[in-house]
């Protein structure tokens, strides 16, 4: 975010987050341009299985998924659609009516729209520039004549980064976008042994650490925060009872962050919680979806059983 209003929202959220107990900064702020590049690099680390497993699931089950979607469907993706998974999906569909990527970054949306138009000249691409975590105007998604069905497509397990309550509210919105006769096709990372998760969120090459620590640099760059960035180290923690992995920036020695003349003191060992990534069993995700009025009709897995994709209907 380089616009002033974006920086102001960042400043307010950081001030509120550092005043909270425990200090927390919303994970969306990890994704400035540099953070987004680092996230792409995380996806290529040997330890971060999520992206590869999601793609393997797509490649293994796309014929069946495409036959469930059927002809004349309107696929609405939350995210730019720049990834290879979108191509696997679009290439498998039987005469799709249209494809709508919803993406906040105008540049990312324009680029992926150009690429997809070139790759799929027969598919109508209808980009919508918007923050998909907020309500989308229904006119932006309307087709005339309407498609046979809508499929709201949300791969990658970004749902993991929502707190449960927010995940239910978000799924409820997806249900309403898909209504009355559509489906939500959503990727969900599965619970797995601790060692595997800790390695995935603290890779040996230090890319995840750089991704997390970039938040401190961003605070210095965009809101003039005074920070001794060397004082903080990246840490991944798994909380069994919450079935989630958390990223933290932990103070190695006493330090102070100063923003707008306000001081936030950290003793050695104190941390800033920067992200949660919830892991689900099939049962726990089904029950989450049920709270949003959605029923999981079918679940697919990658060949190694690391990742799942649910077909949710109301």
Q: Residues 92, 158, 296, 308: which binds ligand AVI (CB under 6 A)?
A: 158
Q: Minimum Å distance from CB 50 to ligand AVI?
A: 5
Q: Considering the rule CB under 6 A, would residue 157 count as an interface residue with ligand AVI?
A: yes
* Tokens 């309550």, residue located: 165
Q: Considering the rule CB under 6 A, would residue 156 count as an interface residue with ligand AVI?
A: yes
Number of H helices, E strands in the chain: 10, 12
Q: Minimum Å distance from CB 254 to ligand AVI?
A: 27
Q: Residues 24, 161, 296, 308: which binds ligand AVI (CB under 6 A)?
A: 161
Q: How far is CA 135 from each of CA 49, 77, 141, 176, 180, rounded to the nearest angstrom?
A: 31, 14, 12, 10, 17
Q: Considering the rule CB under 6 A, would residue 190 count as an interface residue with ligand AVI?
A: no
Name the β-bridge partners of 277.
245
Q: Considering the rule CB under 6 A, would residue 182 count as an interface residue with ligand AVI?
A: no
Interface mask (CB under 6 A) for ligand AVI, residues 44-83, using x and -? ------x---------------------------------
Q: Residues 112, 277, 296, 308: which binds ligand AVI (CB under 6 A)?
A: 277
289/223 Cα distance (integer angstroms)? 38
Q: Considering the rule CB under 6 A, would residue 275 count as an interface residue with ligand AVI?
A: yes
| Contact in structure between 275 and 245 (CB atoms under 8 Å) | no
For residue 297, give every residue at least 6 positions away whose Cβ sits within 8 Å of its Cβ, in sequence order, or none: 183, 311, 312, 313
Q: Which is nearer to ligand AVI, 113 or 158 (CB)?
A: 158
197/246 Cα distance (integer angstroms)? 10
Residues that bind ligand AVI (CB under 6 A): 42, 50, 156-158, 160-161, 201, 208, 275, 277
């Amino acid at each position: 975010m380089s616009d002033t209003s974006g920086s102001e929202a960042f400043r307010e959220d950081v001030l509120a987050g550092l005043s909270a107990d425990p200090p927390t900064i919303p994970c969306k702020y990890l994704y400035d341009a540099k953070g987004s590049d680092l996230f792409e690099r995380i996806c290529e680390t040997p330890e971060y299985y999520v992206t590869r497993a999601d793609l393997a699931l797509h490649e293994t089950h796309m014929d069946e998924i495409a036959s469930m979607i059927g002809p004349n469907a309107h696929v609405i993706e939350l995210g730019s659609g720049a990834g290879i998974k979108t191509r696997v999906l679009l290439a498998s569909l039987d005469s799709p009516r249209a494809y709508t990527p919803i993406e906040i970054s105008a540049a990312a949306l324009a680029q992926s729209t150009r690429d997809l138009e070139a790759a799929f000249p027969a598919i109508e691409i209808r980009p919508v520039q918007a923050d998909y975590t907020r309500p989308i105007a229904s006119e932006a998604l309307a087709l005339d004549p309407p498609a046979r069905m809508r499929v709201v497509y949300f791969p990658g397990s970004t749902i993991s980064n929502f707190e449960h309550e927010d995940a239910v509210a978000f799924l409820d919105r997806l249900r309403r976008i898909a209504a009355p006769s559509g489906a939500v096709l959503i990727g969900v990372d599965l619970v797995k042994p601790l060692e595997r998760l800790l390695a995935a969120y603290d890779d040996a090459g230090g890319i995840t650490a750089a991704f997390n620590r970039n938040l401190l640099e961003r605070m210095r760059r965009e809101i003039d925060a005074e920070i001794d960035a060397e004082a903080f180290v990246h840490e991944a923690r798994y909380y069994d009872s919450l079935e989630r992995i958390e990223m933290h920036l932990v103070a190695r020695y006493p330090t102070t962050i100063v923003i707008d003349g306000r001081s936030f003191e950290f003793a050695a060992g104190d941390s800033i919680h920067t992200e949660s990534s919830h892991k689900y069993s099939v049962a726990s995700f089904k029950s989450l979806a049920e709270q949003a009025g959605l029923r999981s009709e079918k679940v697919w897995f990658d060949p190694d059983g690391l990742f799942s994709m649910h077909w949710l209907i109301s």
